Structure 1
């Protein structure tokens, strides 16, 4: 008859063996990277690049799963919160992930405490855009035109609470103009109307907007970084365009459900770190107008806390909220 001690020892060895097996086996099937928006947007583009590089680097399968619905990606993000914390369901979202709870009291999750923070992966500035028919070539002159004829100008954003929305609100506040910002369902429709002259100002990531600037369909008044972007060296910073310095980056991170399995967490951290810090990933991100922004899970959580405080100032000042 076995003693209680021997039974406990055997159980401990079995548990340890099981944990090692789980670590060795993960992932044994496809890992789903949930993008809480339709295909074709900037978040989707970054997710597909990451999924492709992770698949190639690890020899495992990582796929993008678009689950659109709800302002700020609430539906897709909620699905991840409810998923098993086994590492097979991840969330990739942009900076709007921390803005949504600031503007919507009905968000059914806590972005700081209901997720496991995996990694920060990328960041990039926005282009502040107008139609080529506008005479102004810098922000100072643009807002002078707005003040002279406020009825002739419409501002827009491709996503309510997005980095582009906050950038436009910050510029409005400094310029002292009070023009509503129209929300579009995605960058495509907004850019189409900007090109067509129905709207006269928006800020958007380079991935979706820079091709239109290079083709002459849009005019870039500024870039929302403290230094000029090597992708658009002729576009001045906000400060060079005649206003106070403004840094508003669109940044991207990866999260998993709360209580993520330690073996999966270790594997994902190592795989994502290897991809994001590689020269190959950096080169491909540059085409998108972004740079790698690798942050560990704890670093990402601290970064989110700092960004939330900064965004809250803009949100409160502009009165941005979901009714």
Structure 2
């Protein structure tokens, strides 16, 4: 029996698709193989802050070990500006192939809550969280001329003459900024101003000079000043005391219930980073952060490993953003809408 033209059409269409299907099938293993072989060339690790700060310090420790682990050079590229948003925007536009990565601190999760009008990327949708790497408690330090030796005495001093005092922050929206705002709000001292500085150097200089009187800051930058007796540490913001300042109690020990604040650090890639690349970087990150040398290096900077895989890191970021939003609303921090 002969087939009609309408019967032959589907068969002809199927025959025409066979070469295309065969080509796709041959390319799929090649693509998977390329991802499995990652990396095959140098990797750029973008740090959206200037050299010398806490983010840069963590990045250089991580980059050195990542290069050894993956067998390719890892180049740290500082793209500073706009509270880290210039570097972040660059990575958000990068090809998602694993050759452009991004290391930043908790400010990555804070910026979208404060810069709603000017931010040029989506801090969640435009990135692939790879791993949290480390965290560090902040030092709560004051100018030595402030008449207080602990948090309880400081609160009394501030309440007695609030117009006499001010806090500093090394960057708008930084962990230290939110910690200061939260502390002042929880202690009924919201009328005390928080003075914005562009970086830790100017803030610490004015704190030592007495132009401002208190600061929440990562240990990397403040600890040398405390050890030199140029500043007085009244607390650390971690759940426990820091080995670097064993005689300085935590905020919780001094009656500041539920006050726990860390600057945390993680690594991201652009959105839609292939799963095999993410898995490889996850595994490398976990191994690196467990290395005794890295633990020692981080400890010397006031940090400790805090590794989370991609899924857990994503959930952690979501929870932190909700927490920061509450602090911003309660403290009435100005938002760029």
Name the structure 2 match of 1:87.
Answer: 98
How far, CA to CA, are the matches of 1:300 and 1:266 in structure 2?
13
How far, CA to CA, are the matches of 1:99 and 1:281 in structure 2?
27
Q: Which residue, out of 48, 51, 57, partners 2:69?
A: 57
After TM superposition, the score normalised by the length of structure 1 is 0.94
Aligned ranges 1:168-183 → 2 under 5 Å = 168-177=180-189, 178-183=191-196
Name the structure 2 match of 1:47.
Answer: 59
Name the structure 1 match of 2:40.
Answer: 28
Q: Is the 8 Å Cα contact of residues 252 and 260 (structure 2) preserved in structure 1?
A: no
Return the offset for 1:28.
Answer: 2.2
Greater mean alpha carbon deviation, residues 260-269 or residues 136-145: 260-269
How far, CA to CA, are the matches of 1:197 and 1:182 in structure 2?
13
CA RMSD in angstroms comes to: 1.9
Return the offset for 1:145.
Answer: 1.4
Name the structure 2 match of 1:250.
Answer: 263
Return the offset for 1:26.
Answer: 2.2
Question: Which stretches in structure 2 are left out of the alignment for 5+ residues?
Answer: 1-14
Aligned ranges 1:88-127 → 2 under 5 Å = 88-106=99-117, 107-127=119-139
Rg larger in 1 or in 2? 2
How far, CA to CA, are the matches of 1:228 and 1:17 in structure 2?
52
How far, CA to CA, are the matches of 1:297 and 1:274 in structure 2?
15
Q: Which whole-Å deviations, capped at 9, do the CAs of 1:274-309 have from their partners, x for residues lacking one?
A: 212323222211111111111111101100111111
Q: Which whole-Å deviations, capped at 9, do the CAs of 1:54-77 have from their partners, x for residues lacking one?
A: 112332111111111113x11111
After TM superposition, the score normalised by the length of structure 2 is 0.90
How far, CA to CA, are the matches of 1:113 and 1:17 in structure 2?
28
How far, CA to CA, are the matches of 1:297 and 1:20 in structure 2?
20
Q: Which residue, out of 241, 250, 254, partners 2:254?
A: 241
Return the offset for 1:313.
Answer: 1.1
Question: Which stretches in structure 1 are left out of the alignment for 5+ residues?
Answer: none
How far, CA to CA, are the matches of 1:253 and 1:90 in structure 2?
11
How far, CA to CA, are the matches of 1:258 and 1:4 in structure 2?
35
How far, CA to CA, are the matches of 2:62 and 2:294 in structure 1?
8
> Would you identify which runs of 4 or more consecutive aligned residues in structure 1 move more than 4 Å?
3-6
Q: Which residue, out of 132, 137, 151, partners 2:144?
A: 132
Return the offset for 1:29.
Answer: 2.1
Q: Which residue, out of 298, 304, 308, partners 2:311?
A: 298
